[in-house]
A and B are shown apart, each in its own frame.
Chain A
């Protein structure tokens, strides 16, 4: 850290300065990994060219989904599916309505999933922390209404212990009054996910592959954006070796400039 203070950054050496900041943020380790989506339209906005691993990510929904959290669940399962190859995934629930069959259909291996049903919010957070700092766990998904700065920082420290990746699905318990949203967040990224109308191939009936509108609301060391994703390989036996189960279909407009409900029409 001393060399960072002592040295004046030269003009144009922003890249090296960024790298230094990243290494400080990663607790002095330089092996910060990331999981690329395989499409430059999103990867170049994310720090390290992909979804940062060894950090935790916040994923929320819109409208009714704040309580049911179906689209965030499907999106998280797709994000975590590549990680499930490296180790177990622990999913901390508040309501046990997660359907293993449905996750299998999306391409997430339920045989690598340990489900835990916590009794309250504090317990869910502490179980997440415990699981994040365990050897053999590749990713932890938790369903929590909100995580304040302290809880977020604790999750981050737990992530750093074993380079485990955390996903926090923001989900309000049924019937309860809404809690105030925490102002700050220690999350590496914050997403807002909504289902988008599917586009089946021409001439086919029924529904196409599931599509999601993903708005990246916050991104540490990167830039925000909005994209339309499609789940590849969902509900089929055909095992095509895809780089990432999420395929980027289109980039959506800048969310700051867009009016309140523009994204529906784009898709």
Chain B
């Protein structure tokens, strides 16, 4: 059955609407001119329009099938305010002969509702979308058809009536998705938009007369395409932090590989080398006909003189950065790090992880006074058969990993409490404290033990744990 996908203003004035059967429409308006709907062409046109909208904001998201979201946060001052910006937007679009409606609001949900159901060119003041949304019909909340129909059936004709319903019953009756939509419109919940990224101008491409598939050929074309892009980067004094290589197969599939650099770079040989170990993961299938390389996070780097074969002149950029890049690309970013001090008394939180070549944070010294073990267990291990003279005394002997240790010397306790300001106040207990003891057994081994819980507190009975070894 053929239906109308869209109608012009003139046709709408005659009572035709999208979704109507084509035969019904022709019966109503015999002189109706129809054309085949082309969803793909519409999508392409919308994409082109999104790219054009970049002149107004760098963040443009496509809202299929016929909408666009522009994040205009912080750009409206270029037009002396949102109203002028909207007027300019309208003038330019109208010059292109495009019918449209638009609105500005704090949230994508509110802007969508106002654009579809609100006044022409509505601009919601910051934080003031609720009064503007109240008179709109429930369909303005981008609800599922069934939810929307149910709300209509219950006689709720305005968003304002929905806003008055308590949250619990609302979620039970109409579902969590509907509540999320309402929250997104009012700014109580964040909404993720997929912004369209403009294609990077740092792009190199090699096409082959014959499809290639041999591993050595792939290595060679990787080197060639890298050299091509890096020559361009060098000519413009730029370097990129991330490179994405894509092998386009004969069957139309693209196999991407990506590497990252810790400092922006353009050394073709080095970059090709970082790709080399990954090439074997690429399945060439029936052959690869095109290879493309794009550079991202491009920034200017100072042109450095190629060094005069003097090892002492070597700097971080030549020695450490390539090493860190090799390791990060081979092992993953989480496996290469530099420890940085964190202001926390909790031992396992006192060291944070930073990227190895990130600029060092403002110098905060490591605490050298309080002895900390050389090896800190990620999970404290239980200690048994602990004997202590009095509750607050260090243990005189304990059993750990099946071995009995007699304590010769001990220091402590060092009481470390929980970070009560971070969690909910109801969960804070006096018993959530650890008493740390540094003990040395008869053989000289030094341990870091702690007792969690307090004597005489039935809720948190004391228990002993091994948290680290000093050596």
Query: A113 and B368: CB pair below 8 A?
Result: no
Cβ of A68 within 8 Å of any chain B Cβ, yes or no, is yes
Residues of B within 8 A of A (CB): 311, 314-316, 318-320, 322-324, 326-327, 331, 335-339, 341, 347, 350-351, 356, 360, 366-378, 401, 403, 408-411, 438, 440, 442-446, 468-471
List chain B residues, Cβ under 8 A from A158.
none
Query: A198 and B409: CB pair below 8 A?
Result: yes
Query: B375 and A99: CB pair below 8 A?
Result: yes
Query: A136 and B326: CB pair below 8 A?
Result: no
Main secondary structure of the interface of B (DSSP, over half): mixed
Query: A197 and B323: CB pair below 8 A?
Result: no
User: When A195-B444, A198-B409 are in contact, do A77 and B374 touch as well, CB less than 8 Å?
Assistant: yes
Cβ of A131 within 8 Å of any chain B Cβ, yes or no, is yes
Q: Report A172-193 CB contacts with B as 1/0, cut-off 8 Å.
A: 0000000000000000000000
Cβ of A69 within 8 Å of any chain B Cβ, yes or no, is yes
Find A198's partner among B366, B368, B444 (CB 8 Å cutoff). B444
User: When A115-B336, A135-B311, A197-B442 are in contact, do A100 and B351 touch as well, CB less than 8 Å?
Assistant: yes
User: Closest Cβ of chain B: how far from A209's Cβ, in Å?
Assistant: 11
Sample of 6 more A-B contacts, CB < 8 Å, known A105-B371, A235-B371: A74-B470, A77-B374, A116-B327, A123-B331, A134-B320, A137-B323
List chain B residues, Cβ under 8 A from A101.
341, 347, 350-351, 366-367, 372, 376
Query: B331 and A119: CB pair below 8 A?
Result: yes
Query: B470 and A64: CB pair below 8 A?
Result: no
User: When A116-B327, A135-B319, A264-B443 are in contact, do A74 and B374 touch as well, CB less than 8 Å?
Assistant: yes
List chain B residues, Cβ under 8 A from A68.
375, 469
User: When A97-B377, A198-B440, A210-B471 are in contact, do A105 and B446 touch as well, CB less than 8 Å?
Assistant: no
User: Closest Cβ of chain B: how far from A76's Cβ, in Å?
Assistant: 9
Q: How long is the Cα–Cα vector from A70 to B376 in the complex, in angstroms? A: 10
Tier of interface size on chain A: 35 or more
List chain A residues, Cβ under 8 A from B341.
100-101
Query: B327 and A130: CB pair below 8 A?
Result: yes
Query: B376 and A97: CB pair below 8 A?
Result: yes
User: A106: nearest residue on chain B (CB-CB)?
Assistant: B374
User: When A70-B374, A206-B410 are in contact, do A99 and B468 touch as well, CB less than 8 Å?
Assistant: yes
Q: How long is the Cα–Cα vector from A71 to B319 in the complex, in angstroms? A: 31
Query: B468 and A137: CB pair below 8 A?
Result: no
User: Closest Cβ of chain B: how far from A115's Cβ, in Å?
Assistant: 6
User: When A114-B324, A117-B335, A118-B335 are in contact, do A105 and B372 touch as well, CB less than 8 Å?
Assistant: yes
User: Closest Cβ of chain B: how far from A199's Cβ, in Å?
Assistant: 10
Cβ of A110 within 8 Å of any chain B Cβ, yes or no, is yes
Query: B339 and A113: CB pair below 8 A?
Result: yes
User: Closest Cβ of chain A: how far from B435's Cβ, in Å?
Assistant: 15
Q: Report A236-267 CB contacts with B as 1/0, cut-off 8 Å.
A: 11000000000000000000000000001001
User: When A127-B327, A237-B368 are in contact, do A102 and B336 touch as well, CB less than 8 Å?
Assistant: no
List chain A residues, Cβ under 8 A from B372.
99, 101-102, 104-105
Query: B366 and A110: CB pair below 8 A?
Result: yes
Cβ of A37 within 8 Å of any chain B Cβ, yes or no, is no
Cβ of A111 within 8 Å of any chain B Cβ, yes or no, is yes
Q: How long is the Cα–Cα vector from A136 to B378 in the complex, in angstroms? A: 31
7 A-B pairs with least C-beta separation? A135-B319, A70-B471, A70-B469, A100-B339, A104-B366, A74-B471, A136-B319
Query: B320 and A136: CB pair below 8 A?
Result: yes
Q: How long is the Cα–Cα vector from A111 to B341 in the complex, in angstroms? A: 9
Find A97's partner among B319, B369, B375 (CB 8 Å cutoff). B375
User: When A115-B337, A195-B445 are in contact, do A99 and B373 touch as well, CB less than 8 Å?
Assistant: yes
Q: Report A194-221 CB contacts with B as 1/0, cut-off 8 Å.
A: 1111101000011110111100000000
Query: A103 and B374: CB pair below 8 A?
Result: yes
Q: Report A153-170 CB contacts with B as 1/0, cut-off 8 Å.
A: 000000000100000000
Cβ of A72 within 8 Å of any chain B Cβ, yes or no, is yes
User: Closest Cβ of chain B: how far from A166's Cβ, in Å?
Assistant: 15
Q: Report A67-99 CB contacts with B as 1/0, cut-off 8 Å.
A: 011111111010000000000101000001111
Find A195's partner among B336, B351, B443 (CB 8 Å cutoff). B443
List chain A residues, Cβ under 8 A from B327.
116, 127, 130
Q: How long is the Cα–Cα vector from A82 to B414 in the complex, in angstroms? A: 31
User: Closest Cβ of chain A: how far from B256's Cβ, in Å?
Assistant: 24
User: A163: nearest residue on chain B (CB-CB)?
Assistant: B311
List chain B residues, Cβ under 8 A from A69.
375, 471
User: Closest Cβ of chain B: how far from A120's Cβ, in Å?
Assistant: 11
Q: How long is the Cα–Cα vector from A135 to B443 in the complex, in angstroms? A: 41
User: Closest Cβ of chain B: how far from A169's Cβ, in Å?
Assistant: 11
List chain B residues, Cβ under 8 A from A77.
374
Q: How long is the Cα–Cα vector from A105 to B373 in the complex, in angstroms? A: 9
Q: How long is the Cα–Cα vector from A206 to B318 in the complex, in angstroms? A: 48
Find A194's partner among B367, B370, B444 (CB 8 Å cutoff). B444
| Residue among B360, B470, B471 having the largest count of chain A Cβ atoms under 10 Å | B471
- Residues of A41-78 at the interface with B, using a CB-CB cut-off of 8 Å, are 64-65, 68-75, 77
User: When A64-B401, A111-B360, A206-B411 are in contact, do A136 and B471 touch as well, CB less than 8 Å?
Assistant: no
User: B394: nearest residue on chain A (CB-CB)?
Assistant: A206
| Residue among B347, B403, B444 having the largest count of chain A Cβ atoms under 10 Å | B444
Q: How long is the Cα–Cα vector from A110 to B468 in the complex, in angstroms? A: 18
User: When A114-B324, A116-B331, A130-B323 are in contact, do A235 and B368 touch as well, CB less than 8 Å?
Assistant: yes
User: A162: nearest residue on chain B (CB-CB)?
Assistant: B311
Q: Report A116-142 CB contacts with B as 1/0, cut-off 8 Å.
A: 111100010001001100111100000
User: B377: nearest residue on chain A (CB-CB)?
Assistant: A97
User: B365: nearest residue on chain A (CB-CB)?
Assistant: A104
Q: How long is the Cα–Cα vector from A197 to B377 in the complex, in angstroms? A: 23
List chain A residues, Cβ under 8 A from B336.
114-117
List chain A residues, Cβ under 8 A from B373.
70, 99, 102
Query: B335 and A116: CB pair below 8 A?
Result: yes
Query: A207 and B446: CB pair below 8 A?
Result: yes
Find B374's partner among A99, A111, A162 (CB 8 Å cutoff). A99
| Residue among A72, A107, A116, A210 having the largest count of chain B Cβ atoms under 10 Å | A116
Q: How long is the Cα–Cα vector from A119 to B350 in the complex, in angstroms? A: 25
Query: A110 and B440: CB pair below 8 A?
Result: no
User: B318: nearest residue on chain A (CB-CB)?
Assistant: A135
User: Closest Cβ of chain B: how far from A121's Cβ, in Å?
Assistant: 14
User: Closest Cβ of chain B: how far from A90's Cβ, in Å?
Assistant: 8
User: A61: nearest residue on chain B (CB-CB)?
Assistant: B471
User: Closest Cβ of chain A: how far from B200's Cβ, in Å?
Assistant: 31
Query: A207 and B444: CB pair below 8 A?
Result: no
User: Closest Cβ of chain A: how far from B198's Cβ, in Å?
Assistant: 36
List chain A residues, Cβ under 8 A from B367.
101, 104
Query: A197 and B311: CB pair below 8 A?
Result: no
